[in-house]
Structure 1
Amino acid sequence: MTSDVVLLDIDGPVARITLNRPEKLNSFNVELHEALASALSTVASDENLRVLLLTGAGRGFCAGQDLGDRHVAPGEAPPDLGASVEKYYAPLVRRIRSLPMPVVCAVNGTAAGAGANLALACDLVVATASAKFMEPFCKLGLIPDTGGSYFLPRLVGTARAMGLAMLGDVLSADQAADWGLIWKSIPDDAFIEEVERLVSHLAAAPTRGLAETKRLIYRSADNTLDAQLDLERDTMRELGRSHDYREGVAAFVEKRTPDFHGN
């Protein structure tokens, strides 16, 4: 599937989604929202896929909402931003979090506002060393949406989340990695190679186990320890009956590379 503003490429077990409004730093308008939702639905319905890579075209990942798409002339009624969150941004985060596979976000440049928080909704975030992260909502009298108010304190703690959200300062990729906001900052000249290596590794990994790992880690934020221990017990019981567990043990004993089936 292709569209003008979102490109979807499926190659065996790997899906690649590219935000493709480079002249607008891949900022969100209605067309991009709808095309991205369609691409994610296609990925979710393909049982052969084992990893999703999300990135942006051009010199930026995503600059957030296209404010030119929301310009209000004097005397006009203001837009209902809550309706926009409910219809587009919240479902986007839920779609990504519910995918039964690892989602890698390759931040190839500026990630601002909803674009930064879109990246944080993914499971593994890597960025070029020259990339920048920003939460500029405070400069418009708004709050971090697209899950930002949820992700930021859980990833970097309350103090740093408050600073990012209330000041809107630019955060370098290196600092984002040091703070634990993202997984890794990669030198620009090695970025594509490192991303492909990561994606290839995940595409050959035991996908069901990774999907369950993703589910349990996200559930832990709201679970008690006892509830999480019970969830671990039940999940291990199921995974212990899987082909990939048997294959993983056999490969270890036989000192060979495992051949995981994923699902």
Structure 2
Amino acid sequence: MTAFETLKFTRAGSVVNIVLDRPEAANGMNAAMTRDLADAATLCDTAETKVVTLTGAGRFFCAGGDLKAMAAAEDPGVFVKGIANDLHRAMSTFARMDAVLVTAVNGVAAGAGFSLGVSGDLVLAAESASFTMAYTKAGLSPDGGASYVLPRLVGLRRTQELMITNRVLKAPQALEWGLVTTVVPDADLPAALEQLADELASGARGSNSAVKQLLLHTYGSDYEAQLEREARFIAGNAAGADGREGVAAFLGKRAPEFSQ
């Protein structure tokens, strides 16, 4: 286990598990947590990592920024900019790393916790989980990539409603809107997360990495550029060991044994 002040960080083979660990503060993001999260993301961005899971300790996933720490800062603007910079460094690394990020929203996800929760490549949510932006209620504005991710997930009008009215979405409605992948009973969330992580860890790292990179570029590329990117990725995977194994296993009607 790698020691962090505000996170639990464990590795089991090709799977890294991260738990936001400030339950007494609703896992609110202070300077230590965003710094830890950025450093943890860097540790995940390695050739041996295939899956990263992220959840929260206690009743909350993450209640967003720590407003008490913000209010106590000598210069709130400087303080919040530092927190945002570290959070954004973490989220950029998670988005661009080869490993699949699976978030498990175990409770309230508010503010930056909302942004972080829905940023997973796959998003599990407990039935009791809820999502709210909450920024404008405190006289603040969104961060954590919300203004980039949410319009792409739910469209502009729904994003405007979430950000301006601070509407609260329960997990089933978040699923209906396309913010999460799967909703499970609260008691089943840890097992569902472990099972999904194990399934992904048995897959081909290069294939999942290619999916992430292709989707990351899809809104910024024209059609021909995306076609060329697809051709290069599939050719590279076909030539690699996992691609060769995957094709051989399919033709041989057996389960593939991808590299770990």
Write the distance in 2 (CA, Å) between the matches of 1:25 and 1:228: 41
Q: Is the Cα–Cα contact under 8 Å of residues 129 and 173 in structure 1 kept in the other structure?
A: yes
Write the distance in 1 (CA, Å) between the matches of 2:204 and 2:236: 14
Q: Is the Cα–Cα contact under 8 Å of residues 96 and 212 in structure 2 kept in the other structure?
A: no
Q: Is the Cα–Cα contact under 8 Å of residues 123 and 181 in structure 2 kept in the other structure?
A: yes
Matching residue's letter, 2:12: D
Matching residue's letter, 2:188: A
- Which of 233, 236, 251 is the equivalent residue of 1:235? 233
1:19: which partner in 2?
20
- State the Cα distance separating 1:85 from its structure 2 match: 5.6
- Alignment of 1:140 onto 2:172: no
Alpha-carbon RMSD: 1.6
1:38: which partner in 2?
39
- Alignment of 1:5 onto 2:6: yes
2:71: which partner in 1?
71
- State the Cα distance separating 1:121 from its structure 2 match: 2.1
Change (3 A) 1:107 1:78: closer
TM-score by length of 1: 0.93
Which SS does the other structure have where 2:179 is aligned?
coil
2:255: which partner in 1?
257
Q: Give percent identity, aligned residues only.
A: 36
Matching residue's letter, 1:64: G
- Which of 105, 109, 112 is the equivalent residue of 2:107? 109
Q: Is the Cα–Cα contact under 8 Å of residues 133 and 166 in structure 2 kept in the other structure?
A: yes
Matches within 5 A, 1:148-159: 148-159=146-157
1:60: which partner in 2?
60
1:48: which partner in 2?
48
Write the distance in 2 (CA, Å) between the matches of 1:4 and 1:82: 19
Matching residue's letter, 2:152: R
- State the Cα distance separating 1:172 from its structure 2 match: 0.6
Change (3 A) 1:24 1:110: same
- Alignment of 1:219 onto 2:217: yes
Write the distance in 2 (CA, Å) between the matches of 1:234 and 1:99: 18
Task: Give the unaligned 5+ runs of structure 2.
Answer: none
Task: Give aligned pairs, total.
Answer: 259
Write the distance in 1 (CA, Å) between the matches of 2:72 and 2:13: 45
- State the Cα distance separating 1:140 from its structure 2 match: 2.0
Write the distance in 2 (CA, Å) between the matches of 1:230 and 1:114: 35
Q: Is the Cα–Cα contact under 8 Å of residues 247 and 260 in structure 1 kept in the other structure?
A: yes
Write the distance in 2 (CA, Å) between the matches of 1:211 and 1:78: 38
TM-score by length of 2: 0.94
Q: Is the Cα–Cα contact under 8 Å of residues 85 and 146 in structure 1 kept in the other structure?
A: no
- State the Cα distance separating 1:9 from its structure 2 match: 0.5
Which SS does the other structure have where 1:71 is aligned?
helix
Which SS does the other structure have where 1:121 is aligned?
coil
Q: Is the Cα–Cα contact under 8 Å of residues 70 and 80 in structure 2 kept in the other structure?
A: no
Matches within 5 A, 1:198-209: 198-209=196-207
Write the distance in 2 (CA, Å) between the matches of 1:167 and 1:126: 25
Write the distance in 2 (CA, Å) between the matches of 1:174 and 1:248: 36
- State the Cα distance separating 1:196 from its structure 2 match: 1.2
- Alignment of 1:29 onto 2:27: no
Change (3 A) 1:95 1:20: same
